[in-house]
Structure 1
């Protein structure tokens, strides 16, 4: 890694639906995937995975966001050169079988999750039919709740 690239990094969450039945989710850092089944939120990814096992720590002081080694406000897993020994680029991967009770999945960055719980996000968009409108509604709600972090969101509706 070039020293001129700075200290920035990234987080990511992605999902693929195989044969309309098997949802595979991969996550690095604190972007998150949440599935809605019969109106109930089910988190499919794990935030801040493996930092403690690699010798780091996540502090959580009142009024602040969780910080890796008391410094970095997210568990960016591919980047942040100075904290690389406590961060991993190995994603957390989970597989969820999609059945008739699955309504939609939300893939979003921490800017949404810092101001909304999983269930609040599900409740916010459950009655919106269009996936794009659902994602827009969630990002608008995060802004209304004064999120100061990046807010990226994708919603996938199941038929």
Structure 2
């Protein structure tokens, strides 16, 4: 994209307590469009997924900001992330010259803030997958936990994130004095409790967990079609390529996101299901 774009400010952010929600937005001059769909799972607790989906102007540049925050043991931490994580990233002095380091620093300072406010936020936590799109040309994706970002290029699914599962980081957890349980019929858990090895918050387990993100940068070229961000409620029942194959048939990204969440429900996913689809052209 050679020129900057205006943006649609409607339906750009939200998340949280309702049983389901969806929306969409776009740049008026750029080809970027996005849509989101969030559906409460069958578990007997309030909705714990939050999201961000918006396009803003910042220092003469256009930024697309997209995120899924999947909470556990309450919704206070993902709600905090929804309000603060991107603003903390953009506050970093080196954001425009060293985006990678700025994301790492902001993840760290945000986690420290969450832990310091645990008396208000509680002892729960949250995973996060975030995507920053600069002028529809450059894409930075970061994650902590098992929410996932998948890029479609020429119809091929490319996983942009790493699922932080306890078994894959067992050595790190054990070196920090923790352990990984593998009970029959259950997923691996840190200290028998948490099914991810990295997360924001989780004060009671923090000495055994990491909160530093894995980050991947990519260029948006003519072969890059769309990006899917989703919580593990979708990925537990759907392979990356299956999700891409569903979304590529639907031009409207909101309808694509709703179709993906509906398909996850049809496959009897019991977790909260949240999905954002960003179309680049």
Report the Cα offset of residue 151 of structure 1: 0.8
2:224 aligned residue? 102
1:47 aligned residue? 163
Aligned CA distance change for structure 1 residues 154 and 93 (closer, same or farther; 3 Å): same
User: How many pairs align?
Assistant: 159
CA contact (8 A) 2:129 2:144 kept: yes
2:193 aligned residue? 71
Q: Whose relative contact order is higher, 1 or 2, with alpha carbons under 8 Å and at least 6 apart?
A: 1
Q: Tell me the SS of whatever aligns to 1:11.
A: strand
CA contact (8 A) 1:40 1:119 kept: yes
TM-score, reference length from structure 2: 0.51
Aligned CA distance change for structure 1 residues 75 and 149 (closer, same or farther; 3 Å): farther
1:12 aligned residue? 128
Give CA deviations for 1:33-58 in whole Å, capped at 9, x if unaligned.
00011111000011117843343565
Give CA deviations for 1:83-128 in whole Å, capped at 9, x if unaligned.
2122222221110111111110001111111111111111111110
**Gaps in structure 1 of 5+ consecutive residues:** none
Report the Cα offset of residue 18 of structure 1: 1.5
Report the Cα offset of residue 65 of structure 1: 3.3
**Bigger-Rg structure (1/2):** 2
2:213 aligned residue? 91
2:143 aligned residue? 27
**Gaps in structure 2 of 5+ consecutive residues:** 1-114
CA contact (8 A) 2:149 2:159 kept: yes
